[in-house]
């Protein structure tokens, strides 16, 4: 395996072009390939490549094509080069199986990976060198993977600004089934029930249903491919979901509150095990609501005041009032700063409450 030469990125979509841009930002030589000449032209125009594809033997090939094509494209790259090959698909076991079947003797040079960024947009126009900054990037070595190949893929994640996290392909697929694919399917199911509703009923939609269903707007063709590639892990979880739905139906039919409580309590426990965004221990936060006129500059004035008050904002949402000219801004701040913040905002003329 060569240790010099450029990185060849196959597929100049959102992820491929972003990886190329991130590598160019670090001075790494990059060649780009795509069956669509328009994608290639756009990505090259953004400065994503500096080496002609085919001019030099690559040291690393990054396959960034749709899930259905991953296995055969990885296998082709292994046959055509001596490079380490990785991919950036959302599912890892199925493409590995295809690669093993197609090129068993080269599979040691393949190590899959999965950057946790960017799935609801698409195309090279949406690409960015900073797409992966600070994001987790799963690296998924299989039993026969060479240590050098693993090291090169971990190095790729680091060069792109991400934080590499190592899993076996099976563990990865089980993890994303729970943390991404099942939530997506349940969001789609919840959103699907809204399509039958009389439109006037939807006037009662609040922030809750917006949050639960938001991801269901993602590209259904892409999600068909992702879900189909993670059948085993998702089937286990969907059977558990069916048990929960049956338990809820039974509890409603029997008026059995304790069975309702089991599902609701487990939901509370589930929200508590998601790691804090900072990655560190979860801090107690409190939500504060502030009324803000709905004009450019007003939100900035609020944030400037909060900056002067000296309180850090952990998260922020804007909830526009349906019938009014201002929005409600939800601020998450450390709970022990809330009283000080509310009093100080009141002094500065803002209408705020917790």
Near a copy of itself in 305-344, by CB under 8 A: 305-308, 310-324, 326, 328
From residue 280 to residue 309, the character string flagging contacts with a copy of itself as x (rule: CB under 8 A) and all else as - is -------x-x-x--xxxxxxx--xxxxxx-
Nearer to a copy of itself by Cβ, of 144 and 249: the residue is: 249
Shortest reach from residue 28's CB to a copy of itself, in Å: 19
Backbone angles phi, psi at 202, to 5 degrees: -75, -10
Shortest distance in whole angstroms from residue 56 CB to a copy of itself = 29
CB 172 within 8 A of CB 92: yes
Least distance to a copy of itself, CB of residue 272, Å: 8
The site map against a copy of itself for 219-238 (x = CB under 8 A) is -xx-xx--xx--x--xx-xx
Task: List, in order, residues 6 or more apart from 341 with CB less than 8 Å away.
Answer: 288, 306, 309, 311, 331, 333, 352
| Residue in 128, 151, 155, 168 binding a copy of itself, rule: CB under 8 A | 128
Phi, psi of 254 (to 5 degrees): -95, -5
| Number of residues engaging a copy of itself in binding (CB under 8 A) | 138
Cα–Cα nearest to 48, from 65, 69, 28? 28
121 sits near a copy of itself (criterion: CB under 8 A): yes
CA atoms within 13 A on the CB side of 157: 27
Q: Using alpha carbons, list the distances in angstroms from residue 270 to 164, 190, 251, 275.
A: 25, 18, 21, 11
Continuous segment of H or E residues that includes residue 114: strand 112-115
Stretch that binds a copy of itself, among 74-82, 96-104, 146-154, 214-222 (CB under 8 A): 214-222
Site mask for a copy of itself (CB under 8 A), range 250-269, x = bound: --xx-x-x--xx-xxxxxxx
Least separation in angstroms between CB 75 and a copy of itself: 21
Contact between 24 and a copy of itself per CB under 8 A: no
> By CB under 8 A, which span of 72-80, 100-108, 139-147, 240-248 interacts with a copy of itself?
240-248
Q: Which is nearer to a copy of itself, 57 or 190 (CB)?
A: 190
Smallest distance from the beta carbon of 315 to a copy of itself, in angstroms?
Answer: 5
Question: According to the binding rule CB under 8 A, does residue 122 interact with a copy of itself?
Answer: no
Shortest gap between Cβ of 40 and a copy of itself (angstroms)? 20
What sections of the chain are H helices per DSSP? 14-25, 37-45, 70-80, 93-102, 147-159, 169-176, 182-192, 207-213, 220-229, 231-254, 257-273, 298-309, 338-347
- Per DSSP bridges, beta strands 30-33 and 285-293 are unpaired
98 contacts a copy of itself (rule: CB under 8 A)? no
Return the structure tokens found at 209: 């249903």
Task: State which of residues 51, 168, 178, 334 lies at the interface with a copy of itself (CB under 8 A).
Answer: 178
The b/e string for 241-253 (b: 16+ C-beta within 10 A; e otherwise) is eeeeeeeeeebee
Q: Name residues contacting a copy of itself, limited to 137-176 (CB under 8 A).
A: 138, 163, 165, 167, 171-172, 174-176
Q: Least distance from C-beta 8 to a copy of itself, angstroms?
A: 23
Q: By CB under 8 A, tell whether 204 contacts a copy of itself.
A: yes
Beta pairing partners, 165: 138
Of 35, 47, 57, 179, the one binding a copy of itself by CB under 8 A: 179
Rounded CA-CA distance 177/234 in Å is 6
The least CB distance from residue 327 to a copy of itself, in Å, is 8
Q: Which of 274, 281, 284, 349 binds a copy of itself (CB under 8 A)?
A: 274
What is the rounded radius of gyration, in angstroms, for the C-alpha atoms of the chain? 24
């Amino acid at each position: 395996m060569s240790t010099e030469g450029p990185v060849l990125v196959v597929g100049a979509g959102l992820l491929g072009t972003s990886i190329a841009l991130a590598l160019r930002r670090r001075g790494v030589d990059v060649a780009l390939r795509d069956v669509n000449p328009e994608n290639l032209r756009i990505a090259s125009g953004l400065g994503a490549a500096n080496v002609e594809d085919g001019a030099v033997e690559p040291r690393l090939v990054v396959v960034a094509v749709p899930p259905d094509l991953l296995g055969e494209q990885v296998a082709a790259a292994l046959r055509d080069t001596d490079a380490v090959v990785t991919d950036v698909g959302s599912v890892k076991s199925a493409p590995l199986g295809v690669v093993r079947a197609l090129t068993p003797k080269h599979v040691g040079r393949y190590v899959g990976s999965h950057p946790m960024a960017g799935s609801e947009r698409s195309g090279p126009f949406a690409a960015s060198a900073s797409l992966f900054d600070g994001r987790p990037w799963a690296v998924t070595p299989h039993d026969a993977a060479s240590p050098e190949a693993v090291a090169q893929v971990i190095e790729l994640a680091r060069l792109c600004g991400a934080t590499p996290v190592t899993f076996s392909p099976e563990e990865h697929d089980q993890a994303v089934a729970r943390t991404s694919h099942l939530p997506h399917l349940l969001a789609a199911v919840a959103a699907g029930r809204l399509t039958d509703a009389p439109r006037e009923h939807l006037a009662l939609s609040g922030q809750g249903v917006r949050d639960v269903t938001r991801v269901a707007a993602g590209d259904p063709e892409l999600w068909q491919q992702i879900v189909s590639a993670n059948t085993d892990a998702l089937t286990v979880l969907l059977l558990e979901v069916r048990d929960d739905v049956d338990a809820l139906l039974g509890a409603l039919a029997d008026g059995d509150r304790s069975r309702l409580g089991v599902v609701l309590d487990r939901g509370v426990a589930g929200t508590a095990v998601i790691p804090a965004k900072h990655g560190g221990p979860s801090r107690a936060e409190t939500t504060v609501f502030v009324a803000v006129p709905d004009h450019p500059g007003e939100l900035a004035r609020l944030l400037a005041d909060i900056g002067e008050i000296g309180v850090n904002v952990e998260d922020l949402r804007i909830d526009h009032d349906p019938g009014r000219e201002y929005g409600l801004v939800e601020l998450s701040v450390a709970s022990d700063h809330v009283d000080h913040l509310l009093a100080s905002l009141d002094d500065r003329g803002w209408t705020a409450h917790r």
